[in-house]
């Protein structure tokens, strides 16, 4: 069916185009006989319609009813505030805006992030939905580059739950600004994706015997937990033992890039890998 279908992309109309649509609706049949309109009111409708002629005509009709068959600025403001959202919830515009907010924060563009946040709030998006997306961004795009970002996002959600609108929206804006300004890292996001691919490829890889719990005598007799080295008693011995299943060695899922606080994480990670290798070489020298 799709191969036989012809797709037309409907682009948003410009304000001048919408003005012509509205002016024609006042002259031709639009269910609005003998309606007059102030030009500034029509301009306001055209600007608020977000390029959608249907939305503009609906607003015009409602403004005419509220204005007593005259489209005034007061009637237009009331019409636009009485149920004309800035976009259709769940429609393409909704997802375009949340995508733009996410990508602006990821790109460290504070002003764009604030603009798209304001657009969504004005359009009637549930502020807690935005808060949940901010929490996701804190983990996905900031991550270990600034561990405080996740706390900021969670605190913003909690603040909104406490205060509601409009006061709580300021906390969401604070979190959005913090996330946009923060250094960025998606190392944990990529590491989890890599680990998931490994789990799918090796869904039944056996856990090494020394890592298994041994609550029963039978399990102990089978070698469960045998030879396990407790980290706090013997650091180097703990480093020398294997942790991954045999099929996955020597997998490396985590690859810190080193931006922000993650620079310290990267140094620690490299140090640990070196210590792991040195400990294994000491326990199992070559030759």
* Cα distance between residue 103 and residue 87, in whole Å: 19
In terms of DSSP H, where are the helices of the chain? 15-27, 39-48, 53-66, 73-81, 92-106, 110-122, 127-137, 148-163, 169-181, 187-201, 217-221, 235-240, 262-283
Tell me: the pLDDT tens digits for 111-159? 999 999 998 888 778 899 999 999 999 999 999 999 999 999 999 999 9
Q: Sign of dihedral through CA atoms 105, 110, 111, 117?
A: positive
**Cα 282 off chain centre by:** 46
pLDDT of residue 82: 52
For the chain, give every domain's residue range.
15-81, 92-181, 203-283
Tell me: the pLDDT tens digits for 183-207? 999 999 999 999 999 999 999 999 9
Q: CA angle at residue 58 from 57 to 61, to 5 degrees?
A: 85
Residue 174 confidence class, pLDDT cut points 50, 70, 90: very high
Q: Which CATH class is domain 15-81?
A: mainly alpha
Tell me: the pLDDT tens digits for 205-244? 999 999 899 889 899 888 999 988 888 988 888 888 888 9
The mean pLDDT value for 94-118 works out to 93
pLDDT of residue 86: 47
Structure tokens at 228: 């396990």
Cis peptide, bond prior to residue 166, ω within 30 of zero? yes
Token pair 């029509």 in the structure block, residue? 42
To which H or E segment does residue 70 belong?
Answer: strand 70-71
Q: Which CATH architecture has domain 92-181?
A: Up-down Bundle (1.20)
Number of helices followed by number of strands (H, E) in the chain: 13, 2
Residue 29's φ and ψ, nearest 5 degrees, are -80, 115
Which SS3 state, helix, strand or coil, does residue 253 take?
coil
């Amino acid at each position: 069916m799709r191969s036989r279908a012809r797709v037309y992309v409907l682009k948003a109309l410009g304000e001048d185009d919408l003005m012509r649509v509205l002016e024609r609706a006042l002259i031709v049949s639009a269910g609005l006989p003998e309606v007059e309109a102030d030009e500034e009111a029509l301009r306001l409708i055209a600007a608020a319609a977000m390029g959608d002629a249907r939305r503009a005509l609906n607003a015009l009709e409602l403004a005419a009813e509220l204005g007593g068959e005259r489209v005034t600025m007061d009637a237009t403001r009331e019409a636009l505030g009485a149920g004309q959202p800035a976009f259709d919830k769940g429609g393409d515009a909704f997802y375009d805006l949340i995508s733009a907010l996410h990508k602006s924060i990821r790109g460290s563009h504070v002003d764009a992030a604030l603009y798209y946040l304001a657009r969504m709030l004005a359009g009637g998006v549930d502020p807690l939905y935005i808060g949940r997306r901010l929490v996701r961004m804190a983990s996905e795009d900031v991550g270990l580059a600034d561990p405080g970002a996740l706390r900021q996002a969670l605190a913003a959600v909690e603040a909104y739950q406490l205060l509601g609108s409009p006061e709580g929206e300021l906390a969401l804006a604070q979190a959005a600004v913090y996330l946009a300004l923060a250094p960025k890292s998606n190392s944990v996001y990529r590491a989890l994706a890599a680990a998931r691919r490994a789990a799918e490829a090796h869904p039944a890889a056996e856990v090494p015997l020394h890592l298994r719990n041994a609550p029963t005598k039978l399990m102990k007799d089978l070698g469960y937990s045998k030879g396990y080295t407790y980290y706090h008693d013997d650091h180097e011995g703990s480093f020398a033992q294997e942790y991954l299943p045999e099929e996955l060695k020597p997998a490396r899922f985590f690859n810190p890039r080193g931006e922000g606080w993650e620079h310290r994480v990267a140094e620690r990670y490299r140090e640990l890998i070196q210590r792991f290798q040195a400990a294994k070489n000491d326990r199992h020298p070559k030759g």
